[in-house]
Amino acid sequence: MPSRTPRDRARERTLDDITRIGRRQLTEVGAAGLSLRGVARELGVVSSAVYRYVASRDELLTLLVVDAYDELGDEVDAAVVAAGPDPYRRFVALGDAVRAWATREPARYALLYGTPVPGYAAPGERTTTPGTRVVLRIVGIVEDAQRTGRLTADDTPLPPALHDDFARIAAEFGTTMTDGTFARCMLVWSSLFGRIGFEVFGQYGAGTFTANDELFAAHVALLAEQAGLRPPGE
């Protein structure tokens, strides 16, 4: 790999500064209020200087989306590896890591999984790979359970109309799962993030549940069961 030049390092530092300021703007004014002029003011430069690094508000949003996906993916990866080889424990660690990041970074979670920003469409060529890291981890955990004889769920037949979509997506993910197993992975993925969104965005209502950690643990256990993951010792 060629060494980075001083200009490369300077550009990287500036992009890091722009990302840091953009994160703060997300917290203070939300995604719809992001402003490159505001970024320039905080950097102490004219707006045209920022446009040399980030061409538009949409480009800034994409920078923040990729940054958030990468940080979430890194934390999930670290938690799953630390949990050891057991698929059930790895899934629980994954759920805990997503929740910990989301509750610590609610504005960035909202950018990824909340209300879409009006007029903005994330470019798939830049966001799909980082955006699928967590679901690929879920698929990998279920595959490991299947390979080691730890997967308990039956392969329930699904309507034939679903097969083509499942086959195409499974091929993109590099898995040979049956339709039924892959469908459970998709259900668990969407259910986990939806459940965390309920907590982050206050959808349960203030004071509805007082033992939130215990409730989340129970929900993750139910999702693991839905995925066909068996607790250690069973």
Reduce the secondary structure of the chain to three states and give it as a string: CCCCCHHHHHHHHHHHHHHHHHHHHHHHHCHHHCCHHHHHHHHCCCHHHHHCCCCCHHHHHHHHHHHHHHHHHHHHHHHHHHCCCCHHHHHHHHHHHHHHHHHHCHHHHHHHHCCCCCCCCCCHHHHHHHHCHHHHHHHHHHHHHHHCCCECCCCCCCCHHHHHHHHHHHHHHCCCCCHHHHHHHHHHHHHHHHHHHHHHCCCCCCCCCCCHHHHHHHHHHHHHHHHCECCCCC
DSSP assignment letter at 160: G
Both tokens assigned to 110: 């909202």
Domain ranges in the chain?
A: 1-54, 66-225
Alpha carbons 227 and 95: distance in angstroms, whole number:
13
64-90 tens-digit pLDDT:
999 999 999 999 999 999 999 999 999
Fold classification of 66-225 (topology level): Tetracycline Repressor; domain 2 (1.10.357)
Fold classification of 1-54 (topology level): Arc Repressor Mutant, subunit A (1.10.10)
**CA 170 to CA 185: how far, in whole Å?**
11
Q: What is the pLDDT of residues 12-37, one digit of tens each?
A: 898 999 999 999 999 999 998 898 99
d(CA 195, CA 220): 10
Express as a percent the part of the chain with pLDDT over 70: 98
- Tens digits of per-residue pLDDT, 123-151? 999 999 999 999 999 999 999 999 999 99
**pTM summary value:** 0.92
How does pLDDT run across 144-191, given as a tens digit for each residue? 999 999 999 777 788 999 999 999 999 999 998 889 999 999 999 999
